[in-house]
Every structure is written in structure tokens, then in C-alpha cells.
């Protein structure tokens, strides 16, 4: 399969849907909607929604049905980027090659834009009731799982740990916990939610969850490697930031070569989770292998 064409097509699909779900309507609080739109449509990879759609596909579901859930996940991801970039957090000026939300607007607007995207994600999920007729319990399960993955037991907790670890020496095990919570949880729930929407069996859902866990860790390791070795022109942000901030990373703890080897093994293990799946899981296999050669 042509992975590049597949990713492009899915990204375009997700972008069209996101535009529809967050219209830039004129209204009293237009400024915050503008800011939400600015960050949401800043042109990310759309990895979480694409994984969600691919997981629905992998269990022979209709990816179109998973599209609103996929969009809610991207809203949550974008909110987390906006808040993580704030001066009180990572204090970043650039994101996806453009000024961060608080640089483009101001801090208060950025906080509210993040809050607005997080809230809108859950509103959107609740509003899907009519799409899930006779399957409402599945939708509620997704809402619960997404809440757990995004909240203090997941992403919020991971960001807290990450901040607490800055400038301090941490162990490999601590680093793994941070990333399992900070990025792994939302990546994993993207696959799990997609599999649930697609009508996967409990066994299928468990395998896709396992895929997500391994994929999530491999993603983070290759992200850290990019920060060491990547090019600003490919990444849309400055490389070398982790080192400048004395942030613990996999290459820093393990050395780049061993980190790369570990990522390779994790990708293999992720792909093994898909052994029982047929051709319809091919996109997931390819996306996992792509991690090892990605440049952004």
C-alpha cells in the first residue's frame, strides 16, 4: 500500500470534519472560537484521529462512523498542546511552525481556548447519541475511557510528572511512566475507541489496546530521537530543546543507538499484536513501521 497517499487522504478527511465541527461562526465570544480554530487547524499530523479510524477499519468497521470520535480526540490533543505551551508550563513560542496560541492571542485566551476544546470534545461525544442508537452503552464507555486517558490518571498526570522531573535526574522507569501517561494514554485510547466504534470483539479491542501501548512508547522514543537528530525545517519547531531544558529523554539515558534499537523492538511487538487481523489492519502495521523512518 501507498502509506503516504493513505495518510494524506485521511488527514484531509479529518481536516474537513474538524472544520465542520468547529465552524468559525460569528458570535459573542468570537475571540475564543477564533483561537480554538487557530490551534486546531494549524496543520498537525492528525495521528490520533488517523489511528482511531484505522482501528475501526482493522475490526472491519466503517471508519466514517468513527470520524466524529476521531475529531474529539484531536480536539483533546490540541487542547493539551495549547496548555503545555503556556509560559507557566513549557513556555514554547512555536508550534507546528506557527506562533503558539498564547503568542498569537494572549495567555488568558489560550487558557480558555484549551478549556473550550476539551469541553467541546466531550460535548461532541455526548451529541453522538443518535449515531449510536441501541449502542449507547458503547458511546458512554468511550467517554469514560477518553476521560480516564486525558485526565489525572493519564495525560494531565503525565504533564504534572514531566514538569516535576525537569532539571532532575530520573530513572528509565520514571521516564516510561511519564510518557505512558503523557502521550501513551491518549494514543492508546484512540485505538481502543476506534475498535469499539467499529464493533470489534473484546479480544480485538484488547489486541488494539496492546498495539497502542507499544506504539505509544515507540512514538515517544522516536520523538526524542528527532529532537536530537531532526531538522527544524521538517519539524516545524526547534530541535535540541529537550537538551537545552535538561529534559530527561530516551537517547539521553540510553544513548541514541540503544534507544533506536528499543524503538525497533517495540514496533515489532506492536505489529505482532495484529497477527490475527487481516489485510484491513495493514495501515496500522505500516504506520507503526513508519515511526522508525519518520522525519517529523
27-51 exposure pattern, b = at least 16 Cβ within 10 A, e = fewer: eeeeebbebbbbbbebebebbbbbb
Residue nearer to its own copies on the CB measure, 41 or 235:
41
Interface with its own copies includes 139 (CB under 8 A)?
A: yes
Which one among 3, 41, 160, 254 touches its own copies, defined by CB under 8 A? 160
Residue nearer to its own copies on the CB measure, 14 or 186:
186
Residue nearer to its own copies on the CB measure, 180 or 285:
180
Interface with its own copies includes 93 (CB under 8 A)?
A: no
Which one among 43, 97, 151, 255 touches its own copies, defined by CB under 8 A? 151
Give the range of 107-115, 185-193, 219-227, 287-295 binding its own copies by CB under 8 A: 107-115
| Shortest Å, Cβ 247 to its own copies | 15
Which one among 12, 20, 24, 152 touches its own copies, defined by CB under 8 A? 152
Which one among 24, 45, 123, 245 touches its own copies, defined by CB under 8 A? 123
Which one among 62, 64, 164, 246 touches its own copies, defined by CB under 8 A? 164
Interface with its own copies includes 136 (CB under 8 A)?
A: yes
Print the SS3 string covering the chain.
CCHHHHHHHHHHHHHHHHHHHCCCCCCCCHHHHHHHHHHHCCCCCCHHHHHHHHHHHHCCCCHHHHHHHHHHHHHHHHHHHHHHHCCCCCCCCEECCEECHHHHCCHHHHHHHHHHHHHHHHHHHHHHHHHHCCCHHHHHHHHHHHHHHHCCCCHHHHHHHHHHHCCCCCCHHHHHHHHHHHHHHHHHHHHHHHHHHCCCCHHHHHHHHHHHHHHHHHHHHHHHHHHHHCCHHHHCCCCCHHHHCCCCCHHHHHCHHHHHHHHHHHHHHHHHCCCCCCHHHHHHHHHHHHCCCCCC
168 Cβ neighbours under 8 A, 6+ residues apart: 248
Interface with its own copies includes 140 (CB under 8 A)?
A: yes
Residue nearer to its own copies on the CB measure, 115 or 269:
115
Beta bridge partners of 94: 99
Task: Write out the binding residues for its own copies, residues 174-203 only, by CB under 8 A.
Answer: 177, 181
For residues 18 to 57, the per-residue mask of contacts with its own copies, x marking binding by CB under 8 A and - elsewhere, is ---------xxx-xxx--x---------------------
Interface with its own copies includes 172 (CB under 8 A)?
A: no
Number of residues that bind its own copies (CB under 8 A): 59
Which residues here bind its own copies, judged by CB under 8 A? 27-29, 31-33, 36, 79, 83, 86, 88-89, 106-109, 111-112, 114-116, 118-120, 122-129, 132, 136-137, 139-148, 150-153, 156-161, 163-164, 177, 181
Amino acid at each position: 500500500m501507498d502509506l503516504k497517499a493513505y495518510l494524506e487522504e485521511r488527514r484531509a478527511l479529518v481536516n474537513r470534519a474538524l472544520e465542520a465541527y468547529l465552524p468559525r461562526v460569528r458570535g459573542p465570544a468570537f475571540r475564543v472560537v477564533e483561537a480554538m480554530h487557530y490551534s486546531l487547524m494549524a496543520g498537525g499530523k492528525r495521528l490520533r484521529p488517523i489511528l482511531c479510524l484505522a482501528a475501526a477499519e482493522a475490526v472491519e468497521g466503517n471508519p466514517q462512523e468513527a470520524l466524529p470520535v476521531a475529531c474529539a480526540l484531536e480536539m483533546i490533543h490540541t487542547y493539551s498542546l495549547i496548555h503545555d505551551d503556556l509560559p507557566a508550563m513549557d513556555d514554547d513560542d512555536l508550534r507546528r511552525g506557527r506562533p503558539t496560541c498564547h503568542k498569537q492571542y494572549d495567555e488568558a485566551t489560550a487558557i480558555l481556548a484549551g478549556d473550550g476544546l476539551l469541553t467541546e470534545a466531550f460535548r461532541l461525544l455526548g451529541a453522538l447519541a443518535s449515531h449510536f442508537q441501541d449502542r449507547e452503552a458503547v458511546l458512554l464507555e468511550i467517554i469514560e475511557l477518553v476521560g480516564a486517558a486525558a485526565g489525572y490518571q493519564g495525560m494531565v498526570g503525565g504533564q504534572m510528572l514531566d514538569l516535576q522531573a525537569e532539571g532532575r535526574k530520573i530513572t528509565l522507569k520514571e521516564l516510561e511512566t511519564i510518557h505512558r501517561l503523557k502521550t501513551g494514554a491518549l494514543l492508546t485510547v484512540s485505538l481502543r475507541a476506534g475498535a469499539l466504534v467499529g464493533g470489534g470483539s473484546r479480544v480485538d479491542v484488547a489486541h488494539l489496546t496492546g498495539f497502542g501501548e507499544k506504539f505509544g512508547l515507540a512514538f515517544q522514543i522516536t520523538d526524542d530521537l528527532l529532537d536530537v537528530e531532526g531538522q527544524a525545517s521538517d519539524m516545524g519547531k526547534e530541535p535540541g530543546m529537550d537538551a537545552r531544558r535538561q529534559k530527561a529523554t530516551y537517547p539521553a539515558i540510553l544513548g541514541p543507538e540503544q534507544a533506536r534499537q528499543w524503538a525497533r523492538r517495540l514496533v515489532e511487538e506492536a505489529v505482532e499484536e495484529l497477527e490475527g487481523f487481516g489485510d484491513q489492519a495493514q495501515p496500522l502495521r505500516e504506520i507503526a513501521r513508519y515511526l522508525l523512518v519518520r522525519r517529523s
